[in-house]
């Protein structure tokens, strides 16, 4: 009964005219970003963080959440129509979706992707509503030692699930932790690594780092690419799947929803890992695996369901523990901090309207997406013809304006330019920026809980291994770190990421 009361509060909050408008804006903007290859939800949310200063907390977070799951919908459109996924999580969809389009079944492929996404998004949001409250209750019992150990698990998991070299991922997390130390010591008030620049006394600007590493660096990477895009401008017809299509998609959608819901919770997992896992499962259990790559319906329905389910359940660790499961969730934590909200289990008890409003908005946003996206396919396709030489300079200008508007500090413009160049160079070295951002966000929290636990234990470090939950979490982190360096696991991991590439 309490669940229904909480959901009623959530729908009342999300259903206000202002929040409905921002939910719609987020969903449509997310779809647009998903359609346009080369930008991505992470970069977009990073660029829009400055705008959230001017909005109510609930409205801003509802909009940012809409951008994230809306981008999963939009990514499938370009994957199917032009074999160029707008989102990394839609890369698998392109394998069979584009082949369906070449056979004249683009409409059916788009509808299958939309229906699978809607079902998975709705079910996984229900899972968020069911499991978030009990997890929050457990998290409220955590002390400083448990939180420290939990964050160690999160950082180690992000290393294990990052693309490419484990050593490089470890280096990126370490760099993020070091950048998080810049500023004033929270206990002694002593400046650390500020290089005498008073503007950095409060630490490096999170918005400048996020916009630089993800936004500016992403644009610089795209400037290297091919500017020519072959866009299918024919009218897309046949948007209603046949009975046989529905029969073939039921199993993959259900399995994809389950796989995505489970993997979305893992730090570093989320939509990308879920979509590839779903495709692998569908191909292995199929009676006709030779059809995959030639327009198999399961190759579209499964991954699209999985990536949307993963996007939704990644909110569970964010809302219950204040731990980001992926870079987008790290940016969401940044948005909460900007609004003066302390991420963690207290959000559910101290700000229930915010907590349940975000959850309810996911249902509303998913409904908006499935109703609006299919009729707007023609418009999305036309947007693909916008030349990059118009798009990229416009985005960079808005990035600079947004970053400067946060504090009115010119040093932030130097910082965003520096982080942009650094992000670009790191990408050339095949270093994934996601662990860096997770390290930067979790670093101050990790330090705070480490020092608090040591103060409470009077300097006794055994407190981390004598408390059962803390010890268990540290053993999990150690186990993950050992396993990922095993030769067999390392070889399999490299094979998987080569296939993703």
Q: What is the pLDDT at residue 20?
A: 94
Q: What's the pLDDT score for residue 364? A: 92
Instruction: Check pLDDT > 70 for residue 63.
Output: yes
Report residue 230's pLDDT band, with 50, 70 and 90 as the boundaries: low
Residue in 352, 323, 276 with CA at minimum distance from that of residue 93:
276
Sign of CA dihedral 111, 113, 116, 120: negative
Instruction: State yes or no: pLDDT of 75 exceeds 80.
Output: no
CB 215, CB 47: distance < 8 Å: yes
What H or E segment, with its residue span, contains residue 166?
helix 166-180
Does the structure show a pLDDT above 60 at 13?
Answer: yes
> Average pLDDT in the 140-163 region?
82
Q: What is the mean pLDDT of residues 169-184?
A: 88
pLDDT of residue 115: 87
Mean pLDDT of the chain: 81
3-state secondary structure 231-255: CCCCCCCCCCCCHHHHHHHHHHHHH
- Residue 53 DSSP class: G
- Residue 375: pLDDT band (50, 70, 90) is confident
3-state helix, strand, coil in the chain (%, to 5): 75, 0, 25
**Over 70: is that where the pLDDT of 10 sits?**
yes
The residue ranges of DSSP E strands in 238-384, in sequence order, are: none
Check residue 385 and give its pLDDT: 66
Residue in this structure with the two tokens 């909200």, named with its chain if needed: 341
Rounded average pLDDT over 211-239 = 67
Stretch 157-174: mean pLDDT, rounded? 81
Specify the pLDDT at position 50: 79
Question: Which residues have CB under 8 Å from 102's CB, separation 6+?
Answer: 295
Higher-pLDDT residue of 163, 332: 332
pLDDT of 400: 80
Q: Which residue has the higher pLDDT, 235 or 263?
A: 263
Average pLDDT on 182-198 reads 81
In the prediction, which pLDDT does 236 show? 59
**pLDDT score of 380:** 67
96: confidence class by pLDDT, cuts 50, 70, 90: confident
**pLDDT of the residue at 19:** 93
- Count the alpha carbons within 13 Å of 491 in the hemisphere toward its beta carbon: 2
DSSP-derived secondary structure letter, 197:
-
Q: Taking a C-beta distance cutoff of 8 angstroms, is the pair 13, 58 a contact?
A: yes
Which of the residue ranges 132-146, 166-180, 223-237 would you say has the lowest mean pLDDT?
223-237
- 3-class SS at 216? helix
**pLDDT for res 62:** 93
| pLDDT for the residue numbered 86 | 63
CA distance 65 to 366: 11
**pTM of structure:** 0.76
What residues contact 17, with CB distance under 8 A and at least 6 apart?
A: none
What pLDDT does residue 487 have? 65
Residues β-bridged to residue 183: 192
Is residue 260 scored above 50 in pLDDT?
yes
Helix 57-82, helix 91-102: angle, nearest 10: 50
Beta-carbon count within 10 A of 199 CB? 15
Residue 493: its pLDDT value, please? Answer: 53
pLDDT tens-place string over residues 324-367: 877 788 888 888 888 888 888 888 888 889 999 999 998 899 88
What distance in Å separates the CA atoms of residue 110 and residue 236, rounded to the nearest whole number? 9
What is the pLDDT, as a whole number, of residue 283?
Answer: 85
Residues in Cβ contact with 370 at an 8 Å cutoff, skipping those fewer than 6 apart: 114, 115, 117, 118
Q: What is the 3-state secondary structure (H, E, C) of 64-98?
A: HHHHHHHHHHHHHHHHHHHCCCCCHHHHHHHHHHH
Cα dist. 478→84, 227, 448, 453, 475 in Å? 39, 45, 21, 20, 5
pLDDT at res. 206: 79
Percent of the chain with pLDDT over 70: 88
DSSP β-ladder status, 191-192 and 183-184: antiparallel
- Return the C-alpha torsion angle 98, 496, 36, 368, nearest 10: 80
Q: Cα–Cα distance between 220 and 424 in angstroms, integer?
A: 7
Could you tell me which of 386, 419, 416 has the C-alpha nearest to residue 399?
A: 416
Token representation of residue 46: 């990073």
- Angstrom distance (rounded) from CA 417 to CA 213: 9
């Amino acid at each position: 009964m309490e669940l229904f009361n909480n959901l009623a509060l959530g729908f009342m909050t999300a259903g206000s005219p202002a929040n409905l408008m921002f939910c719609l804006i987020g969903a449509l903007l997310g779809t647009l970003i998903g359609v346009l290859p080369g930008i991505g939800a992470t970069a977009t949310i990073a660029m829009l963080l400055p705008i959230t200063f001017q909005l109510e907390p609930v409205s801003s977070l509802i909009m940012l959440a809409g951008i994230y799951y809306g981008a999963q919908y939009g990514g499938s459109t370009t994957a199917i129509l032009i074999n160029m996924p707008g989102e990394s999580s839609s890369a698998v969809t392109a394998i069979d979706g584009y082949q369906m389009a070449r056979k004249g079944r683009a409409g059916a492929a788009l509808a299958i992707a939309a229906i699978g996404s809607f079902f998975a998004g709705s079910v996984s949001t229900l899972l968020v509503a069911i499991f978030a409250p009990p997890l929050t209750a457990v998290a409220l019992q955590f002390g400083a030692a448990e939180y420290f150990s939990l964050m160690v698990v999160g950082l180690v998991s992000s290393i294990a699930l990052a693309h490419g070299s484990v050593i490089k991922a470890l280096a990126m997390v370490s760099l993020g932790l070091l950048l998080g130390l810049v500023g004033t010591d929270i206990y002694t008030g002593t400046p650390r690594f500020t290089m005498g620049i008073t503007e950095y006394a409060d630490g490096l600007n999170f918005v400048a780092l996020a916009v630089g590493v993800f936004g500016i660096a992403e644009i610089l990477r795209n400037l290297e690419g091919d500017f020519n895009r072959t866009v299918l401008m024919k009218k897309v017809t046949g948007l209603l799947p046949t009975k046989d299509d529905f029969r073939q998609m039921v199993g993959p959608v259900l399995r994809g929803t389950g796989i995505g819901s489970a993997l979305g919770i893992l730090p570093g997992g989320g939509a990308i890992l879920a979509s590839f896992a779903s495709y692998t499962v569908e191909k292995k259990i199929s009676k006709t695996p030779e059809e995959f790559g030639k327009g198999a319906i399961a190759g579209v329905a499964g991954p699209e369901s999985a990536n949307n389910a993963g996007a939704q359940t990644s909110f569970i660790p964010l809302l219950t523990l204040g731990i980001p499961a992926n870079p987008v969730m790290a940016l969401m934590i940044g948005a909460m901090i900007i609004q003066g909200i302390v991420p963690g289990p207290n959000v559910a008890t101290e700000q229930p309207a915010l907590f349940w409003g975000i959850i309810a908005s996911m249902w509303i946003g998913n409904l908006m997406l499935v109703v609006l996206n299919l009729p707007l396919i023609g418009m999305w396709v036309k947007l693909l013809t916008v030349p990059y030489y118009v798009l990229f300079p416009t985005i960079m200008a808005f990035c600079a304006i947004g970053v400067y508007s946060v504090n009115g500090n010119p040093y932030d413009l130097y910082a965003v330019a520096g982080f942009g160049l650094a992000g670009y160079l790191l990408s050339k070295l095949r270093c994934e920026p996601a662990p860096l951002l997770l390290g930067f966000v979790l670093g101050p929290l990790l330090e705070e809980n480490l020092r608090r636990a040591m103060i409470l234990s009077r300097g006794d470090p055994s407190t981390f291994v004598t408390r059962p939950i803390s010890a268990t979490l540290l053993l999990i982190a150690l186990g993950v770190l050992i396993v990922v360096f095993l030769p067999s696991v390392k070889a399999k991991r490299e094979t998987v990421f080569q296939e993703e590439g």
